[in-house]
Structures are given as C-alpha cells and as structure tokens.
C-alpha cells in the first residue's frame, strides 16, 4: 500500500516552477528526496502539507488531503528544517499546546520517547542542540501516532555523529512501521537508510526509483579528455581531483555513490541548458 500518493503537484513562482510532480511513497519505507539547493525539495514538502497553495492532489494512506485535512494531518508528522519554534518556551509547554490538537495523543508514548532520546522537558527549546531539537520533533510526531513523517533537511546542521545517531533513530522507526520521506542534500545519510530515492532537479523529478536500482544503473569512469568521455556516451563529464570523470551505464569503471550520481546528472542537465 502507498503511504503517500502525489498527483500532478504544481506550483508556479515568477522565476521557478515546481512540477508537475507525480510519485508515491511505499508504506514502511524510507524515501529520500534529494536535489541541490533550490531544486524544490522544501516547496514539495510544504505543498504536500498544504502550507503553500498549489495545484495537484495529495493522498495519505488513501485519504485525500484537501477533503480530509484533519484526518490526514493526524497521521502526519511534519518537521520543517529543524525545530525552530518557540525558542524561549520550555519543551513541556510546546508539547502541552500541541497535544490538545490530537485526539489520539499518547502522553505515555511522549514521555517514553523523551526519556529514550534524553530530552529534559523543563529545558527551553533554545537550550537544545540541533540534534536534540530534531529528536523533540520526532517525539511530538510519534506521540500522536504519526505513521508518515515528512522531514525537511533534518540532518543539515548536525555533526557526523549526531547524523549517524539520527539515522539510527530513523531505522528504528522504520522497524516500527513508520514511513519516512526526508529531503536532504547530504546524500551519505541516504546511503545508510534510504530504500527509495526521489531526485528533484530544477523543480522536475529526474529519478524515482529504489536506491539500489539507481546506484546499480550507473558507474563512474575516468577519461583522458572530454572527447573520449562524449564518445563513450558518458553523462556529465567533469573535472575532478583525479582527472575527468563521468557516469556510464555498463560494467566499466567503479561503483558510483549517490553523491556522484547526483553531481554528474546535475552537470549533464546544466550542459543541456
């Protein structure tokens, strides 16, 4: 079953157009939404939450967002770019205010999550590290029984150890049946946790496939010159520290990382323009 279905999502700005995007997120999977800064990742997530006005349809666990906004939002947990809300308020006050909106809020789950993540409720939001803020957001989302988490750049601003810690948390949540869609430009995190990749470039979906499939399709090959690269049909040939490199399909070259796939595909896009 699909936890999230997006159909022809479109938002037009004077200098940027997002979409139309159509994709789905399988239940119980971790899906990474990747793309460079300004590709439209945050806009996509906000559009799905109804935070910006746009065209298209969004269904969460089969429920239409525009028709059943309350029911959909009860099953959703959205965290936009770290928890930057109410920095001067204690965590307990924010949690108490949020709890009133959810009929299925479970105080026991909340306290358990706080305990597990080492959150002290008397602390103020501004006293938390970025990693702890993220965990507070997760604790809030899990306490109202969110089965789909939309996370916007949750790991940016975190040090490598905190990111590792956060990825472990996501894997634990996945084990509990929570579906996660998270946008990031730190693709190494996705290499660890993601099952599926949505790759957004300049507002358009460039790839929508399992991580293994995307990585398996491309290899990185080194070339002596651009001409050699183009003759080999390489994608996005560009200079690197080791010489010229590009993506190729086939068996030659070495395995590509998600970072390399993104960089070379992005480079190829730029060349086309």
**Cβ closer to another protein: 6 or 167?**
6
The site map against another protein for 65-104 (x = CB under 8 A) is ----xx--xx---x-x---xxxxxx---xx-xxx-xxx--
Spell 140-178 as b/e; 16+ CB within 10 A means b: bbbbbbbbbbbbbbbbeebeeebbeebbebbeebbeeeb
* Ranges within 99-128 binding another protein (CB under 8 A): 100-102
Q: How far is the CB of 257 from another protein (least distance, A)?
A: 33
- Judged by CB under 8 A, which of 9, 49, 180, 194 binds another protein? 49
Interface pick for another protein out of 7, 17, 36, 52 (rule CB under 8 A):
52
- Please, which residue, 151 or 258, has the CB nearer to another protein? 151
Q: How far is the CB of 182 from another protein (least distance, A)?
A: 15
Helix H, strand E, coil C: the string for the chain is CEEEEEEEEEEEECCEEEEEEEEEEECCCEEEEECCCCCCHHHHHHHHCCCCCCEEEEEECCEECCCCHHHHHHCEEEEECCCCCCCCCEHHHHHHHHHCCCCCCCHHHHHHHHHHHCCCCCCEHHHCCHHHHHHHHHHHHHHCCCCEEEEECCCCCCCHHHHHHHHHHHHHHHHCCCEEEEEECCHHHHHHHCCEEEEEECCEEEEEEEHHHHHHHCEEEEECCHHHHHHCCCEEEEEECCEEEEEECCCCCEECCHHHHHHHHHHHHHHHC
* Least distance in angstroms from the C-beta of 88 to another protein: 8
If the CB atoms of residues 78 and 182 are measured against another protein, the closer one turns out to be 78
Smallest separation (angstroms) from another protein to the CB of 97: 4
Q: Which residue, 3 or 215, has its beta carbon nearer to another protein?
A: 3
| Piece in contact with another protein (CB under 8 A), picked from 2-10, 43-51, 228-236, 265-273 | 43-51
Q: CB of residue 37 vs another protein: minimum separation in angstroms?
A: 18
Provide, rounded to whole angstroms, the least separation between the CB of residue 132 and another protein: 17
Q: How many residues bind another protein (CB under 8 A)?
A: 26
| Distance of closest approach, residue 7 Cβ to another protein, in angstroms | 20
Nearer to another protein, 153 or 260 (CB): 153
Task: Kindly state the smallest distance separating residue 206's Cβ from another protein, in Å.
Answer: 24
State the Cα–Cα distance between residues 166 and 174, nearest whole angstrom: 12
Q: How many CB atoms lie within 10 A of CB 75?
A: 17
Cα 251 versus chain centre, distance? 30
Which string of x and - marks every residue 3-42 that binds another protein (by CB under 8 A)?
----------------------------------------
Residues of the shown chain interacting with another protein in the complex, contacts defined by CB under 8 A: 46, 49-53, 69-70, 73-74, 78, 80, 84-89, 93-94, 96-98, 100-102
């Amino acid at each position: 079953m699909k936890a999230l279905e997006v159909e022809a999502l479109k938002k037009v700005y004077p200098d940027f157009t997002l979409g139309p995007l159509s994709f789905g997120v399988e239940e119980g999977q971790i899906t990474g939404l990747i793309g460079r800064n300004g590709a439209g990742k945050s806009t996509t997530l906000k559009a799905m939450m109804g935070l910006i006005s746009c065209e298209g349809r969004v269904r969460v666990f089969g429920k239409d967002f525009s028709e059943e906004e309350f029911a959909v939002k009860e099953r959703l947990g959205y965290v936009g770019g770290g928890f930057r809300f109410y920095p001067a308020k204690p965590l307990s006050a924010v949690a108490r205010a949020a709890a009133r909106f959810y009929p299925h809020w479970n105080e026991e789950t909340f306290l358990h999550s706080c305990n597990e993540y080492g959150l002290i409720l008397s602390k103020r939001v501004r006293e938390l590290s970025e990693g702890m803020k993220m965990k507070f957001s997760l604790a809030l989302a899990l306490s109202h029984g969110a089965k789909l988490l939309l996370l916007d750049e949750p790991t940016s601003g975190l040090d490598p150890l905190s990111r590792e810690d956060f990825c472990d948390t996501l894997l634990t949540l996945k084990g509990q049946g929570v579906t996660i869609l998270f946008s990031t430009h730190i693709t190494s995190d996705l290499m660890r946790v993601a099952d599926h990749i949505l790759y957004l470039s300049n507002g358009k979906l460039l790839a929508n496939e399992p991580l293994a499939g995307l990585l398996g399709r491309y290899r990185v090959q080194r070339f002596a010159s651009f001409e050699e690269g183009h003759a080999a049909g390489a994608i996005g040939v560009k200079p690197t520290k080791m010489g010229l490199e590009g993506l190729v399909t086939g068996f030659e070259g070495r395995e590509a990382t998600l970072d390399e796939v993104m960089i070379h595909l992005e480079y190829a896009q730029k060349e086309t323009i």
